[in-house]
Amino acid sequence: MVVWSSLTRKRERTVWVETPTPPVFGKENGQRSPTWTDVLLWGVVGFLLSTNKEYGRLEIRAAVITVSDKGYAGQRQDLSGPALAEALVAMGATVVARTIVPDEEAQIERAMIEYADNLKVDLIMSTGGTGAAPRDRTPDATRRVIDREMPGLAELLRWQGYQKTPLAVLTRGIAGLRGQCLIVNLPGSPKAVREGMETLALVLPHAIQMMRGENLEHGAAPHA
């Protein structure tokens, strides 16, 4: 659905997701077949959500921002945004909004500020614009929006990505907090989005709790 948005004076392509559905696997649905990693990861996530009283009652409101000149202009179908939304829903989050913005720092900043300050989401995940190309400006815009950086999340993404391709170290994505909203940059390909969410799915819920001042003992983990 295309709506008028206060993010810019231009028409924004914003999708409001009222009832998210879990990811659907199977070639007959036009989706990829699940790998053993998918089965293991989401099995663990499901176990945590069903048995851990802290995670089980945790509500996460999330927003997805796709950063792409061609996607914004309608010259390329956005595959990364829906893949990211699916992964967030599978993690247990509710995706309340999605939007596509061009590789313009001011518009990226406005979208993040709108979702963090006005829509009051807990988590903003962006996809695209994290590389070294001249138009890749998502990390630069994000750095101006956040109050505090959380470098460990970006370091984890690069380290895990490097296990699959050495080119993962070229991403400049960052993560940080704006008030009580966590913002994380992911690369622009659907494959990188899925792999990135496989890495983050088990740490994002606890990061949200810490941001809210909840469950600060970290279970058996060392204190931060």
HEC letters along 120-184:
CCCEEEEECCCCCCCCCCHHHHHHHHCCEECHHHHHHHHHHHHCCCHHHHHCCCCEEEECCEEEE
Number of domains comprising the chain: 1
Domain with 172, as residue range(s), is 13-19+34-212
CATH of the domain at 57: 3.40.980.10
Burial classification of residue 136, based on how many CB atoms lie within 10 Å of its CB (0-12 exposed, 13-18 middle, 19 or more buried): buried
Could you read off the pLDDT of 161-177 as tens digits, one per residue?
888 888 889 999 999 99
Is 142 within a domain? yes
Q: 3-class DSSP state for residue 78?
A: coil
What residues have CB less than 8 Å from 190, skipping those under 6 apart?
Answer: 79, 80, 83
pLDDT band at 82 (very low <50, low <70, confident <90, very high): very high
Mean pLDDT of 118-127: 98
Is 96 within a domain? yes
Is 221 within a domain? no
Is 133 within a domain? yes
Which segment of 29-38, 115-124, 138-147 scores lowest on mean pLDDT?
A: 29-38
Is 5 within a domain? no
